[in-house]
A and B are shown apart, each in its own frame.
Chain A
Amino acid sequence: MNSNLVDPEKALLLRARRWDKQALAEIYDLFSPRLFRYSLRLLGSSPVAEECVADTFERFLLALRRGGGPQEYLQAYLYRVAHNWVTDYYRRNPLPDLPLEPNLQVNQELDKTMVETMQTESLRNALAGLTPDQRQVIVLKYLEGWANEQISLAISKSIGAVKALQHRGLLNLQKMLIKDQAALK
């Protein structure tokens, strides 16, 4: 392994700071699909997820132009911005409380797809019910497949804090899902 190789992400960022349009396009192409998936999982709506992605890159450009923005960790920075956007969205557009219909009785006639859709929606709502930090850790860890070190950089917290958030996040999710399941049953 050649240790002299420049980290491609950093090299890309360096070019972006010089307002190299090609580099900025590469960044967009690299991260836009990931950010879309990330936001779509949390938001549940393609148009809103697109809006989140567009705003995330807009803020990235403005930060670069002011000489700010990420110094080293581009991915962590972009996910943090998107996370803030989602948090804002949740704040302004509260999702309905679980269960969706308190009196709804899920019976055997509901087809599997419908059940799975509702389960997915349940999880999304449960995630929305977590604290922003817990949600970010859970999503990055279990949905995006990030390592704790990467999450640590993204949320600017220690690895210990990441583990603690992960633990508390999972517990809270379990409690919410147990409650949800009980209601569905």
Chain B
Amino acid sequence: MTKLFRPLALSAALLSFLASCHNDSPSPTPTPTGAGQYAFVINEGNFSNGIGSVSRFDKTSKNLVADAFSAANGGAVLGSVVESMTVVDTLGYVVVNNSNKIEVVSLPRFKSKATIAGLNQPRFVVRSVANPNRAYVTEWLGGPFPAPYTAGRISVIDLTTNKVVSTIPVGINPEKPVLVGGKLYVPNTSSSFLTVIDDAAPSNAPTTLTLPAPAGSLAADKNNSLWALCSTDYASQPATLLHFNASPSAGTIANAFPFPTVGSGSGLRISPDGSQLYYSYGKGEYRMNITDAALPTTPLIRRSFYGFNIDPATGTLYGTDALNYSNPGLLLRYQPNGTKLDSTTVQVSPNGVVFY
């Protein structure tokens, strides 16, 4: 409805945009490395319609199935605001944020296997290393705008039964966590701290790691040290890229890289070999080596992406452009050196790519 809903829907879309452009490639832990031929594009969909989807792109044949779930499940709609997907062995856990559920599908066919309900505004799923039958999903609590969001939580899922078994309190608006050195680090995009959970014993009370500003995205490099891009207050503060020391000094900051101007800085990603960082800043996508002493001055690609991921099999760069968030967006592919390869139209608001 376009009545008063439109400004609210626009604000919600804006918030969705501000908070959801983080979809990390899997952190370097033993899960499938995505060496197959498929790239799944996560399309949030138009918020008012409530129809999101996942498109399946075959890298060898260049064939695109616009709505893989609908095609495999008799025309069923995946749900409202498809936020992310996490690969667990041969299954995909598709988080449908505004339908409060996770759809478990077979890969690559996308046939529905199970549905996890009982969630509240779920965001991202990360599989445990200590117990491969366990996964964590971050959830927001409170809202919607203009009501305030309250401290969110993580629901712990038993992957054998696909049910929520317990919850862990975290900060406000948690996004995609990163598991490194036996610890799950949760970026809270409206709280200036990371919540740290012990992967081996998640029922222990979580600890916190204070930050100068809320972190939007995290990445773990090949040395098992954590990087955080603190950048959620676009209007008044420049973003900062923080590099933490590896274990055992995991809570201390090794280096801080402030960005030159206010206005942006988001979408921190790590290359599959754990040596190159990627992030979006201004109207470009930048690449930085983890050993660099300063932020790069020129972008790798002069384009602002809504989602950005690196293919672990080939190193090809996949960027998504949501255009105006109501038209079908674009999937653009680049060679590792930034040269454009090709592009194709996907569905509305594509926010990232998952490889299988």
Partners in one complex: no
